[in-house]
Structures are given as C-alpha cells and as structure tokens.
Amino acid sequence: MVEECNSPVPGQMMRRPLLISSLLRHADRYFGQREIVSRNEDGSIHRYTWRDCHTRTRRMANALSALGIRMGERVATLAWNGYRHLELYYAVSGSGAVLHTLNPRLHPEQLAWIINDADDKLVFFERSFLPLIAAIAPLCPSVQAFIMLGSRADLPAHASMMTYEELIGAHGGDYTWPVFEEDAASSLCYTSGTTGHPKGVLYSHRSTILHSYSSVMPDAMNISARDCVMPVVPMFHVNAWGLPYTCALAGAKLVLPGCALDGRSLYQLFEEEGVTFSAGVPTIWMGLLDHVRANGLRFSTFKRTMIGGAACPPAMSDAFRDDYGIDVVHAFGMTELSPLATTCTLQAQHMSMTKAEKRRVLQAQGHVLYGVDMKVIDDDGAELPWDGESSGHLMMRGQWVMDSYFKQPPGGALRDGWFPTGDVAVIDADGYMRITDRSKDVIKSGGEWIGSIELENIAMTHEAVRLAACIGVSHPKWDERPLLVVVRKQGAVLDRDTLLGFYEGKIARWWTPDDVVFVDALPIGPTGKVLKNRIREQFRDHRLPTVRA
C-alpha cells in the first residue's frame, strides 16, 4: 500500500474540490434563516434568506443550462449590489460557467469592447441600463441575449427582452451542483488600465475559496455568524472584495445597498438593518461621514470598516475611530490580487504603545495574509531591506494572485514568479507594508522619489481641505516638482501659502509642494478612485512659481 521510494506518499483524507457552489450550500444548510436584504433600484427593500437564495439560484442554474450556456462560457452582469446579482454569482460560477461582472460606469464603447473581448454569451442588466444596453447591443453581435433583472411588468412596453423573473419562474429548483476541478475559472473582472485596453483577470474556484478563508480571519475582515455585513464596494469591482463569498462562508447577514450610495441612503441601511461591518473605497466613506456630521447622527451597530482600493487618508480613519468609535482596517488589494493582499491590524508588539503610536501603525497598508507573500525590489530586481525606509516596487505572489491576464500565456504577467503590482512601497521590520505611491504617480525630484500619497494625506488633515491630489509637474532644474490640487470644504477659506505653511515640520522641507491649485472637484474613475492621470494631463503645462523665467 505504502511505497518506500523517494516520492511523497498520499495522505488518506477525503479530497473534494474547492468549489464556489459549496459556499452557498453551506450557507443554506447551516445558516438557512439568516437574511439577505437588498435595496432595489426603485428604493424599495427586498428581504429573503440564504435558503431562499439557494433555491432561486438553482432555478437560475437550470435556466442557464436551458439557454445553452456551457461550462467555461462567460455570462456578464451589469448590475448593482442586489439579490439577483448575488444569485447570478452562484448560479453562473456554480454551474461551471464564468461570471463576468461589468462596470456600468465605463463608456458604452469600452463596455462593448470588453464584452466582445470576453466573448460574453449573455448579459444580465438592471432596468435603468436599458438605454445603455440599447447603445451596446448593436456593437456586440456574439451576445445571445440581454436579460433584464426584473419581471415582465418592469419592462417598458416596446421592449422584447427576456426577464430574469420569467426565467426563474420557468425553471424548477431541482439542480445538483456539478463537481469539477477546483482550478476551473469562476469569474472574470477587467481592470481599467490607464493605458491600452482593459485586461481581464480570470479567477478560479480554488483561488476564490482560499481568498475567502483568509478574508474572514481575525486579522483580516474578522467576520463571524454574529455579523451583519454591507458591501458598499460594488459587486462589479473585484467581486465586492469577495464579500458575497465570505459572508456565505461565515454565515453573516448580508445587506446589499443597490445603487443608492449617498450618505443618507447608506446611513439608513446601517441603522435599519443593524450593519456591524462594511467595506469600501475612501470616496464613498467621505459622503457618509459628511452626512452623519451634518446631521449630528450616531451609529448604533456599526463597529468595523475596511477601507481600501486607494490610500485611506488618516483624517478619515481618525474621524471613524475617534468621533464614531468605529474600528478602521486599512487594506491593500487590487483586481489581480482577488483583491485582498494586506490588512492593517495591531499585533502583540503594539499593545503597549500610546494611542498616537498605534494610530501611526494603523495607517500602513498592513501585513500579508497567510497565502500571499510580498517583497519590494529596486529597479534591478534586487530585494530591498525591510527597514521602513527603502522604497521599491511592490511584488506579490500567492494562492489568489493572478498568473496571467485573460488570454495571455501562463506566467505572462509575472517577473521571476512574482506579480509586479505597479505600486511603490516600503516594508518595516515587523512586515508592515506602506504604499508610498503608484509607480506611475511617483514624483522624481532631483533623482529622489517624493511620495505623493503622503503629501495628499497631510493636506487632508487640514480642516479646510476636502480632497487633495498631488502630481509631479516638470521642472527644468529638478526634473519634477510636486503640485497640489485641492478641493476645499464647502464654505471653507484657505489660501496657497497657509496650506504650504501647514507642511512645515511634518516632512522634509524639499518635499513641500511647489504650488497649490484650488479646483471645484477632482475627476473620479469608475471604481471611485481619483484619476491622477487625468489631473496630470490637465496640469501638464502648469507653470510652477519656482521656475525662474
């Protein structure tokens, strides 16, 4: 039975593939009564349970197979965070097809390009996207059907499309989830690169399950069956950071806020549904904080939030922690990383620190979760020391790190087996990583790097600043010098020199921006992040006052 040669002997444990369908089966069987609450496009609330979700998902799986969808084929969604979108997450991936989540904030031509690149067979969409679909459909001949997420009654008179509820109604819930290799593709998400066409990241069932296991850990999202979780991050943005999966794994109640992401609507859901944990990008939280501040409101159940997708300004985490008693977990991730790679929580060695010291630790992007590995390297590929000072290119590898973009050959995106994130970071002796910049956002002044994120963060601690972006502007002597572009808070008064004076003593003098420009708004991209490349274009010819004529 047991061979004595120099190769491993197999263990004698059960061996079942790690499949996404098992998450929903688990949620149904063990947390069948736990609720899923969704806000519909019309503002009404839909409420059912993980068990109901499983029943309808199996009906949809039957519908997909009746529509001729085969394993590996792509099925797209153009949808908000809601229960039908959740059902498609499980119905499509669970049946062996690939869920392709489209970002509705992209331009129609870009959407059509992506749909064609992915070769999507079906596109499920929200009612409000009917005009968008009308624009896209002629450009996407390979799509077999555009299906509206609603019932026939919701469809305008002239429209002849299929509807989601008719499909659900036409198929029974008798369906057995197929068992296949865990390396099978489960979902596809395009990253909106700043140059060239968007590129697809093709997740597998295995990478999704391992990412989910690691996400619920106490030092990550810390999700239990006592939690009520609201993913504010959209389900079309890296699978809402995996929350549709992790909540099923942990047995949490799920609150899906639909398209109403303004402060008032979110606050209402937080309070009415008893949300304990939420996750999203900084720009969304700004709206929420503005709303609660303006109305003198408090949170009664909200305890922890994960903020990531862009650097969380310290002023924001301070506001959450100090003013509202909400724990902030700063996290770093990207589409190519499923997305969660690092989270920032305290460790044993920090427990005796002062509040200010802890605060400083918690501003980093944090430590890796077991399953991924990181390093920083210099331009020649040599690994840099973990001294909290040596900044270099951040490289990642691990169980839920992309190997190659969709349609690229294996390993196509890697360098010596590591994925280059395109971020610049330092790592300290405790293994805490701090992003100092995007590689392309770094400001090179006199051969040295200036971290634009730190300059922005400092500006945003000023009481009159709402939003700040720092870019490099060309300078004849120093090559580049920092320019700060600022949106003031409503009614606030602030001038250039006051703001520049504000930097004194906070950074090396030569890091101080050379100029400040006040604007009414900053361009925000489809995933809620400030678009620095747009700002750079806009101020390409800005003449710094430090340049002598």
| Binding window for a copy of itself (CB under 8 A); candidates: 132-140, 368-376, 437-445, 457-465 | 368-376
Q: Which of residues 430-459 bind ligand AMP (CB under 6 A)?
A: 435, 438
CA distances from 116 to 180, 455, 492 (A): 27, 41, 47
191 labelled catalytic: yes
> Rule CB under 6 A: is residue 330 a binding residue for ligand AMP?
yes
Which residues lie closer than 8 Å to 84 by C-beta, 6 or more apart? 124, 149, 164
Q: Are 538 and 509 in contact (CB under 8 A)?
A: no
Task: For residue 319, give both structure tokens.
Answer: 């506001």
Q: Which of 386, 449, 461, 546 is labelled catalytic?
A: 449
N residues, the chain: 549
Three-class SS state of 46: strand
Other beta carbons within 10 angstroms of residue 234's beta carbon come to: 27
77 φ, ψ (degrees, to nearest 5): -130, 145
Decide: residue 189, CB within 10 A, 0-12 exposed, 13-18 middle, 19+ buried. Answer: buried
Residue 344 to residue 433: CA distance in whole angstroms: 9
Nearer to a copy of itself, 22 or 452 (CB): 22
Residue of 82, 234, 280, 333 interacting with ligand AMP (CB under 6 A) = 333
Residue of 184, 232, 238, 312 interacting with a copy of itself (CB under 8 A) = 184
Nearer to a copy of itself, 21 or 445 (CB): 21
449 labelled catalytic: yes
Nearer to a copy of itself, 3 or 379 (CB): 3
Give the shortest CB-406-to-a copy of itself separation in angstroms. 7
Decide: residue 99, CB within 10 A, 0-12 exposed, 13-18 middle, 19+ buried. Answer: buried
Task: For residue 125, give both structure tokens.
Answer: 């969409």
> Rule CB under 8 A: is residue 204 a binding residue for a copy of itself?
yes
CA-based nearest residue to 27, from 269, 229, 185 = 229
Residue 262 to residue 288: CA distance in whole angstroms: 7
Give the shortest CB-192-to-a copy of itself separation in angstroms. 18
Residue of 20, 76, 106, 228 interacting with a copy of itself (CB under 8 A) = 228
Q: Which of residues 443-472 bind a copy of itself (CB under 8 A)?
A: none
| Binding window for ligand AMP (CB under 6 A); candidates: 123-131, 251-259, 415-423, 460-468 | 415-423
Q: Are 339 and 402 in contact (CB under 8 A)?
A: no
Give the shortest CB-311-to-ligand AMP separation in angstroms. 4
> Rule CB under 6 A: is residue 84 a binding residue for ligand AMP?
no
> Rule CB under 6 A: is residue 422 a binding residue for ligand AMP?
yes
Q: Which of residues 241-260 bind a copy of itself (CB under 8 A)?
A: 249-253
Q: Are 19 and 179 in contact (CB under 8 A)?
A: yes
Residue 301 to residue 284: CA distance in whole angstroms: 19
Residue of 527, 530, 532, 535 interacting with ligand AMP (CB under 6 A) = 527
> Rule CB under 6 A: is residue 421 a binding residue for ligand AMP?
yes
Element (H, E) at 344: strand 340-344
Nearer to ligand AMP, 38 or 317 (CB): 317
Give the shortest CB-309-to-ligand AMP separation in angstroms. 5
Phi-psi sector, 190: left (phi>0), alpha (psi -120 to 50), beta = beta
Task: Choose among ligand AMP, a copy of itself, none what residue 197 binds, the Cβ cut-off being 5 to 8 Å by kind.
Answer: none
Tokens 């002997």 -> residue: 9
Give the shortest CB-328-to-ligand AMP separation in angstroms. 11
Q: Which of 444, 448, 506, 537 is labelled catalytic?
A: 444
> Rule CB under 6 A: is residue 512 a binding residue for ligand AMP?
no
Residue 327 to residue 344: CA distance in whole angstroms: 11
Which residues lie closer than 8 Å to 133 by C-beta, 6 or more apart? 78, 123, 125, 146
> Rule CB under 6 A: is residue 287 a binding residue for ligand AMP?
no
| Binding window for a copy of itself (CB under 8 A); candidates: 108-116, 140-148, 198-206, 527-535 | 198-206
- The helix-helix angle for 50-66 and 83-94 (nearest 10°) equals 60
Residue of 110, 144, 191, 408 interacting with ligand AMP (CB under 6 A) = 191
> Rule CB under 6 A: is residue 88 a binding residue for ligand AMP?
no
- Respond yes or no on whether the N-terminal peptide bond of residue 339 is cis (omega within 30° of 0): yes
> Rule CB under 8 A: is residue 223 a binding residue for a copy of itself?
yes
Q: Which of 41, 73, 336, 456 is labelled catalytic?
A: 336
One-letter identity of residue 236:
F
50 labelled catalytic: no
Give me the active site residues, please.
Answer: 191, 336, 444, 449
Chain residues that interact with ligand AMP, rule: CB under 6 A? 191, 238, 308-311, 330-335, 339, 365, 421-423, 435, 438, 527
